[in-house]
Amino acid sequence: MLRWTITFIIIALIAGVLGFGGVAGASAGIAKICFYIFIILFILSLLRGVMKK
């Protein structure tokens, strides 16, 4: 699950750079939402991994 989270956070970062840079102005809001969702998922995955050990 951690691999998927890292993959999605990289996709969200790329979408964020493109959206915030003005390349695709309409996608900036979606990129922000994806970024925050995947940050939360990443943190939850890290906590879950720590709890398993």
Tokens of 42: 């990443």
Average confidence (pLDDT) over 41-51: 87
Average confidence (pLDDT) over 37-41: 88
User: How many CB atoms within 10 Å of residue 33?
Assistant: 11
Compute the distance between CA of residue 46 and CA of residue 15 in angstroms, rounded to an integer.
23
pLDDT at 19: 62
Average confidence (pLDDT) over 13-31: 67
**How many percent of the chain have pLDDT more than 70?**
74
pTM for the model: 0.50
pLDDT at 1: 66
- Which residues constitute the domain of residue 41? 2-52
pLDDT at 23: 57
- For the chain, the domain total comes to 1
